[in-house]
Chains A and B, each alone.
Chain A
Amino acid sequence: MRTPFNYFAPETLSDAHELLEKHGERAEILAGGTDLLVDIRNDMKQPDAVIDIKNIEELNGVEFDSDDGLIINAAATCTEVSSHTVVRDRYPFIVEATSELASHQVRNRATVVGNICNASPCADAARPLLCLDASVEISSLQNKRTLPLEEFITGVKQNDLAPGELVERVRVPVEMADARGANRKLKRIKGHDLSLASVTMVKTDAETRVSIGACGPTPVVLTGFDASTDVDELCSAAEEAISPIDDVRSTAEYRNFMIKQYIRELDEELS
């Protein structure tokens, strides 16, 4: 810990809202803390108030019903999500993606919603949720609003939350349950690593959706392709949509190449 901060652990949503309202931009929300605490340690963030939401009952757990679809609450860990029976049965590619996220220890702590709020271009949980047309439920002391996930992630480590707001949950519409889907993630080692380039493909009888990570300021999703779309067309659309860079992890050229390679592999696997 580099800079001292005040730690709050409210037990109700309204207490959390009030704390957020009070501290405004100087507040940070703590769920798993696996990104926040690293940022604080590295002086990337210097909050006055850290508001832990794990004690708020309604923000915990994973739920599913045939009307509302899949609900991943803000404090649900990656491990909880990937071990949930319905997620395993009906959204196995979410399990696959969240099981490749970080290490075992981190997944026991890190939350899926936190992964999305952190808004890294390589956020592993974002890809399947983008393909599933997930929406983000946001609230503050005065307000409630819902936003498509695609609009929620606005840039590198940027999200649409205003001071005073928190994400209560992510909702996946029921229509996409039982879709076929799979992931590919390019890493430097076989053990845990950030994604250098990654793809999720989801297919229903009507549609093919593709989301791509680590190849632009935000993960991107390609929609509007019917199920019979030729893979070359998907590859061209992907190349059009992404803007990979050279950095210490990989190069634009290899990322571009591997994205298309993965799309071909996934298309074959899911057809």
Chain B
Amino acid sequence: MREDTPQEELNYVGKGTERVDTTEKLTGKAKYTGDLRMPGMLHAAVKRSPHARAKINNIDTSDAEAIPGVHAVVTGKEFDYKLGLYLVDKDVLARERVRHHGEAVAAVAAESPGLAEQAVKKIDVDYEVEEPVLDALEAIEDDDKLVHPELDDYDYFEPAFSPQPGTNVANHTKIRKGDVEQGFEEADHVIEREYTNPNVQHVPMETHVAVASWKEQDELDVHTSCQSPFTVRNLLCVAFDLPHTNVHVEVPYVGGGFGGKAGIGVEPLAACLSKKANGRPVKLEASREEEFSLLPCRSGLTYRIKSGVTEDGDLVAQKMTMFWDSGAYADYAVNVTRASAYSASGPYEIPNAHVDAYTIYTNKPYGTAYRGFGHVEFSWGLERHMDLLAETIDMDPLEFRKQNALKPGSITITGEKIVENTGNVTKCMEVAAEAINYGELTPEEKKRQEETGMKIAKSVSALHKAPAMPSFTATAAELRMNEDGSINADLSLTEYGQGTYTALTQIIAEELGFPPERINLSIKGDTDKAPYDWQTVASKGLLMSGNACIKAARDLLEKAYQDASEVLRADPCDLDHNENEIYIKHHPEESVTFSELAVGYAYPTGEGIGGPIIGVGRYMAQGLTNLDKETGQGEPALDWTYGSHGVVVEVNEITGEFNILKVASAFDVGKAINPANIRGQVIGGLIQGLGTTICEGYAYDDEGHLLNPSFTDNKIPTSMDVPEEIEGIVIETPQIDGPYGARGVGEHPMIALCGAIGNAIYYAAGADLTHMPIRSEDVWWALHKDEDRDRPRYSIC
């Protein structure tokens, strides 16, 4: 869909147009699901498990039901089905057993939130507590203590996933390229190390919330804060065995998702409560604490990398083993596992590669999609490992990366051939390095070192990511012309903060030649009114929906031209248009306005032709295939967005305290549809990546209780933690099938920042870290490693 139009001929694409939702959000006019009040609406509260693993002997709800104002109490016994997108493994409410601390075991709908909470307290659950499975590396070996003994009975998406019944392995993805053992023999050095990441919470500003009304004739209305209205509708229909015409999902403004709202969340429970409360609307709104353990988090990862390098700096073989700790349910984690497996080597060419990626059940809160979809986690280990390899052969780590970078002609580990238009990761590294004066300290930095006594060091990392989605992912857009020639547009990509709607408005405006103000892209999602989209995830929205919008705009113009050609008695090939009218190219004074055509043209005599002008565009991801289950070979990637971070840090060698002075990040976005928007994504993504790097993560005790389920002890970065300087740099190697050459960059800014910071801290102070996050205490412990002290017991792990 790329147009080789020089920028000077583009009117709207490439400009830093103001976000379409600015005023509504700044004035508070924007309404979110939590703002909804409906007549007769009830409020829900959830009874959560205090245990990580237990049998449920009995649940006594009689005292709760007896409270006046309580209209529904439900337990797992009432639901004989499970929910899932890729692996159908999760109950609406725990049945027979609980599998993680915080799991929902019962729920109440009552006339006020306080009453609902009181009723929940009156529910008495008789548990038989069992020893939980908490360590993924032990769980993979332990076939006796299974989290899901029934795994064999579960439905799953067979072309992509391989559950291993009789074990705790929910999925095993394999990638095989070349001969890895042969490669190790050719290497001068073989280096193996293991890197770990904890569970992390998404922390959207708006917690999960849904209002459901189960009406007469089994019509189900759901308003929800979600990323993917059609996925929610489909899963509700499958679970409740309802026709798709009966279920209606609306998505108002959404206050952030970051992957945590990619699939289905609180909607089914709200729906069940409404059904039991005779159709009264029920609002289920998660508290912040519930976000941490009732709702999903990011899976933990242990990443073992064994690499063979030559003295000349060639990476000749790499064996990569990923142990994904998905927690109690693996529905979405299996796809994180798959996506990270086919990307596991990062943006580097490995002639002999071998990946085993496992999704492992444990008795912890369960994992789901999280911005970066596995790449943040594995990039931590991979980027630390790249520097370890470079150090082993005494080579500059940036040169080592550039030498092994994917470039035109390279073959990825799944057998995909990289071409010129795939993008340029080497250039990304070069500009990021230049922006931080890589390889030297500036006079100011030297002076700062002397003044502070801290040590300054620099590092450059690289990254890649492609959308993780089914090979046949599709979307559509619909444009309708109004009487005044303006456009109402609908699609089902959810705008939850990423700014895509502004970019899509620019694309539609550019295609139509209309100013963006005349395009009204409805932000509210509505499965009854707007055309289908699979999901709003994976950094695929701009490319997929952008192309659908281009096609819809062209379709709309074609119809307008058709009608105009009749009115003007001219072949459409002789017509052209400006903002307001279609005219004959060689007789521009003969014209008809869009306003006259919009809903049907009327001749002076009163006779009409044409009709409402509607443009429809749909787009299907092109050329993707399933991966072979034994070799992992195939075409998984819609597009690869490359990037690089250059970081400057200073470290106090005595205390382990450190500051991030500068982050300069470059991304090959193909074409910057809206540079201001990209800057927003880069800054936001970097700060989220910084959270992962410097402070975030779940801590458990030996019984699997989550010890830090709130902001008191689960810290996220604040404005005070932002690096002193952030520079975002755009590289534009056009994507041939991207709208105006663009590709997505929503997730990428947070990938591989962790590795860059870890490496810079190592160079500054010698603290050799392999576990995230990196707090000053972790640096201090790493510096005192020789003294053979055990790490603290309740650390983030």
CA–CA, A53 to B665, complex, Å?
53
Q: Does B695 contact A (CB under 8 A)?
A: yes
Selected A-B contacts with CB under 8 Å, 11 pairs: A189-B717, A189-B721, A190-B720, A192-B718, A247-B794, A248-B708, A248-B713, A249-B713, A253-B789, A254-B780, A257-B655
Q: Which 4 A-B pairs have the closest CB atoms?
A: A191-B718, A251-B792, A191-B720, A190-B720
CB neighbours (8 Å) of B719 from chain A are: 191
CB distance from B757 to the nearest CB of A (A): 14
Interface range on chain B: under 10, 10 to 19, 20 to 34, or 35 or more? Answer: 20 to 34
CA–CA, A186 to B716, complex, Å?
16
Q: Are B777 and A254 in contact (CB under 8 A)?
A: yes
Given contacts A246-B793, A247-B794, A253-B789, whether A189 and B114 have CB atoms under 8 Å apart is: no
As a 0/1 sequence over residues 657 to 696 of chain B, the CB contacts with chain A under 8 angstroms (1 = contact) are 0000000000000000000000000000000000000110
CB neighbours (8 Å) of A250 from chain B are: 777, 792
Residues of B within 8 A of A (CB): 114, 117-118, 654-655, 694-695, 699, 707-708, 712-713, 715-721, 775-777, 780-781, 789, 792-795
Q: Which of A2, A190, A253, A257 has a CB less than 8 Å from the CB of B117?
A: A2
CB distance from A143 to the nearest CB of B (A): 36
Given contacts A2-B114, A194-B712, whether A188 and B695 have CB atoms under 8 Å apart is: yes
Task: Name A252's closest neighbour in chain B (CB-CB).
Answer: B792
Given contacts A1-B114, A2-B114, A247-B794, whether A188 and B775 have CB atoms under 8 Å apart is: yes
Given contacts A248-B707, A250-B777, A254-B777, whether A191 and B655 have CB atoms under 8 Å apart is: no
Q: Are B780 and A257 in contact (CB under 8 A)?
A: yes
CB neighbours (8 Å) of B699 from chain A are: 248
CB distance from B647 to the nearest CB of A (A): 17
CA–CA, A189 to B717, complex, Å?
7
**Interface majority SS on A: helix, strand, loop or mixed?**
loop
Given A188-B695, A246-B794, A250-B792, 7 other A-B residues pairs in contact with their CB atoms under 8 A:
A1-B114, A189-B717, A190-B718, A190-B720, A246-B792, A251-B792, A254-B781
Q: Does A193 contact B (CB under 8 A)?
A: yes
Residues 81-132 of A at the B interface (beta carbon under 8 Å) = none
Task: Name A249's closest neighbour in chain B (CB-CB).
Answer: B713
**Interface majority SS on B: helix, strand, loop or mixed?**
loop
CB distance from B242 to the nearest CB of A (A): 36
CA–CA, A157 to B502, complex, Å?
51
CB neighbours (8 Å) of B694 from chain A are: 189
Count chain B CB atoms within 10 A of each CB in A2, A190, A250, A258 and give the residue with the most: A190
CB neighbours (8 Å) of A257 from chain B are: 655, 780
Task: Name B656's closest neighbour in chain A (CB-CB).
Answer: A254
CB distance from B695 to the nearest CB of A (A): 5
CA–CA, A41 to B792, complex, Å?
30
Q: Does A261 contact B (CB under 8 A)?
A: yes
CB neighbours (8 Å) of B655 from chain A are: 257-258, 261
Task: Name A258's closest neighbour in chain B (CB-CB).
Answer: B655
CB neighbours (8 Å) of B114 from chain A are: 1-2, 4
Q: Are A188 and B715 in contact (CB under 8 A)?
A: yes
CA–CA, A192 to B715, complex, Å?
9
Q: Which of A1, A4, A193 has a CB less than 8 Å from the CB of B715?
A: A193
CB distance from B431 to the nearest CB of A (A): 28
Q: Are A189 and B712 in contact (CB under 8 A)?
A: no
Residues 214-235 of A at the B interface (beta carbon under 8 Å) = none
CB distance from A215 to the nearest CB of B (A): 14
CB neighbours (8 Å) of A246 from chain B are: 792-794
CB distance from B746 to the nearest CB of A (A): 25
Q: Are A189 and B695 in contact (CB under 8 A)?
A: yes
CB neighbours (8 Å) of B721 from chain A are: 189-191
CB neighbours (8 Å) of A192 from chain B are: 718
CB neighbours (8 Å) of B720 from chain A are: 189-191
As a 0/1 sequence over residues 253 to 267 of chain A, the CB contacts with chain B under 8 angstroms (1 = contact) are 110011001000000
CB distance from B659 to the nearest CB of A (A): 8
CB distance from A38 to the nearest CB of B (A): 9
CB neighbours (8 Å) of A253 from chain B are: 789
Task: Name B722's closest neighbour in chain A (CB-CB).
Answer: A190
CA–CA, A250 to B699, complex, Å?
12
CB distance from B395 to the nearest CB of A (A): 35
Task: Name B117's closest neighbour in chain A (CB-CB).
Answer: A2
CB neighbours (8 Å) of B117 from chain A are: 2
CB distance from B128 to the nearest CB of A (A): 25
CB neighbours (8 Å) of B718 from chain A are: 189-192
CA–CA, A247 to B795, complex, Å?
8
Given contacts A190-B720, A191-B720, whether A251 and B715 have CB atoms under 8 Å apart is: no
